[in-house]
Structure 1
Amino acid sequence: MSVSKLLSRIVAHSSDRIDTCKCVASSLHDHTYGITSDPLTQFACILSALIHDADHVGVPNTQLVKEETETAKRYKGKSVAEQNSVVLSWEMLLRPEYCDLRGAIAATDAEWTRLKQLVVNSVMATDIMDKDLKGLRNVRWEKAFSEQDPSEDAHVTTNRKATIVIEHLIQASDVAHTMQHWHVYRKWNQRLFEEMYKAYKEGRSEKDPSEFWYKGETGFFDFYIIPLAKKLKDCGVFGVASDEYLTYAIQNRREWEERGEAVVDEMIEKVKAVWEEEAETTDTFVDEASVSL
């Protein structure tokens, strides 16, 4: 939904003087680096947002590599969950029953190749923990929006900027709860906490999230969420939506600083109560089974 919202908020630059529908389309094309005039790219963004966490097992890539899972081995420890999501989803899309759908999406082999490239690159952008990928994205951003090379082909420059915008669009979608109303942020933050606590209790994480959650979220806002929201604004493509995302991110950061410790205490209480209840249910089941025997 976040991707769809941002795509729908794409606007031409406020300084443009637009008098006709043709001028509107031309202005949007230039201002968004061709994204608004390319339905395949827009579809790739939506599809990537839908599939980017497909078959996610609730633990990070580092844990999958540590456990030496088959998936981690298959993808040689690089962007394991992300690559797995793309492959599974793409295989599903290629099933015979989706033949008509594929025909509606792309008509030629060239279009299918481009669609897959867009999807792969977009989903890989959600792996924010891979330092190599992060470094490459930062370099592309600097080259696209900070450095100016008048000798570079305009088409190459536009494509690079479009790629960067799409990557940040998908990244924002991945963590959109942090850039929405406090209650939305709290809802999904609670669920993430529960997921990570479950991994800890099951021995799939060395760290108890209750011990670092408050400081961890504070750092996440400072070093990832707010800088990401600022980049959405700086690229100049998304109009008031980028202002809205940045405003909510800053407000949630401020509210988390004030209320976060109490929120964490509340989450700990809830999740421990659930685990204690499940443990009691399991013990009762074992006792009843023993009596039956």
Structure 2
Amino acid sequence: MAAQYKNKSIAEQNSVDLAWQLLMSDEYEELRSCIYCNPSELRRFRQMVVNIVMATDIADKEINGLRKERWNKAFAEQAPGNDIRNAKATIVMEHLIQASDVSHCMQHWHIYRKWNEMFFQECMEAYQSGRSDEDPSKGWYQGEIGFFDFYIIPLAKKLKECGVFGVSSDEYLNYALENRREWEKKGKEIVAANREKIQAALDGSQSISNTEMPIRETPMKKSQEWNAARQQTQAIVPEEDGLDESFRSETLAL
């Protein structure tokens, strides 16, 4: 799968592939007629879907840099025309899905703790089963602080700036700031406790590595199937609309 997507936004591109293939199936013909009426609307809709899903890949510096440029340009205009309004709509939707992707960080401390621990457990099991080379507990505490400082809190401030959520945006920002403060005080003890609990559970279960190891091989074994699905998806879309280009080309073109 990594080779298929040239090691760029692998999970995100695969998600778009599968979702687009499903949307283009016969059973969703009526839904498609409600979404778009002509090739131009279809192209715009696909671009929007690609942009929004690709926005969840926060590790791609190139795409993130372009997104920041579009945000600054869209919200720097005092009297926006149609083009600026469309740009604002696109960039706001990208940030909405980014917020949805990490929404637990902007909710109550107990919600944040719950999902943080579940993700930590997933990473620890991957490490213990040999699917990851790094022990996540070594950098988890400091990593969360950096995540709040350089991603969560700036994102919450942008949600407030765009005004989409109204007064609720203050709540999201306040929760993010409070969770950051709580994590700074309690995070080290939480990581240590979670590691001990997960390690004890792993030591008592002989089936974890046996059940999870095949996942490591699945993407490579199924790469031809994913590629066939992607080709089928692209074949459905009219070539004159330029939708047979790569996802990154579609994203960077907007």
Q: Which TM class, normalised by the smaller chain length?
A: 0.7 to 0.9
Partner of 2:172: 245
- Tell me: CA distance 1:155–1:267, structure 2 relative to 1, closer, same or farther (3 Å): same
- The Cα shift of 1:154 comes to 1.6
Q: Check whether the contact 2:120–2:136 (CA below 8 A) recurs between aligned residues.
A: yes
Check if 1:114 corresponds to 2:48: no
Deviations 1:210-247 (A, max 9, x none): 11111110110011100110111112222012111101
Q: Secondary structure at the match of 1:73?
A: coil
Give TM-score scaled by structure 2 length.
Answer: 0.76
Letter in 2 for 1:237: V
Corresponding residue for 1:278? 205
Q: Quick one: distance in 2 between partners of 1:74 and 1:230? A: 36
Match of 1:165 in 2: 92
**Where has structure 1 moved over 4 Å in runs of 4 or more?**
280-283
Separation in 2, partners of 1:185, 1:231: 20
In structure 1, what is the Cα distance between the partners aligned to 2:151 and 2:57? Answer: 13
Conservation of the 8 A alpha-carbon contact between 2:145 and 2:183: yes
Instruction: Give how far 1:134 is off.
Output: 0.9
Cα distance in structure 1, aligned partners of 2:153 and 2:141: 17
Aligned counterpart for 1:226 among listed residues 147, 153, 162: 153
Structure 1 unaligned regions, length at least 5: 1-70, 284-293
State how far apart, in whole Å, the 1-side matches of 2:140 and 2:171 are: 25
Partner of 1:128: 58
Counterparts of 1:194 and 1:281, CA distance in 2 = 12
- 1:178 corresponds to 2:105: yes
Alignment of 1:131-150 (within 5 A): 131-146=61-76, 148=77
What pairs with 1:79-98 in structure 2 (closer than 5 Å)?
79-98=9-28
| Residues in 1 aligned to 2:152 and 2:57: alpha-carbon distance in whole angstroms | 14
Is 2:33 the partner of 1:103? yes
Let me know the Cα RMSD of the aligned residues.
2.1
Residue 134 of structure 2 corresponds to which residue in structure 1? 207
Displacement after TM superposition at 1:98 (Å) = 2.6
Query: What is the one-letter code of the residue matched to 1:132?
Result: E
2 CA distance for matches of 1:281 and 1:174?
27
Aligned to 1:188: 115
1:75 partner amino acid? Y
Structure 1's 281 and 136: CA in aligned 2 closer, same or farther, altered over 3 A? closer
Which residue of 145, 166, 181 maps to 1:254? 181
List runs of 5+ in structure 2 lacking aligned partners: 211-254
Secondary structure, aligned partner of 2:125: helix
**Structure 2: how far apart are the matches of 1:252 and 1:282?**
33
Q: For the residues of structure 1 that align with 2:103 and 2:117, how far apart are their CA atoms?
A: 14
C-alpha distance 156-99 of structure 1, shift in aligned 2 (>3 A): closer
SS of equivalent residue, structure 1 residue 263:
helix
Identity of aligned residues (%): 57
**Which range is displaced more, 254-263 or 93-102?**
93-102
Which residue identity is paired with 2:191?
Answer: V
Higher-Rg structure is 1
Aligned residue number for residue 223 of structure 2: none
2: CA distance, partners of 1:282 / 1:111:
47
Q: How many pairs does the alignment contain?
A: 210
Provide the secondary structure at the position in 2 that maps to 1:237. coil
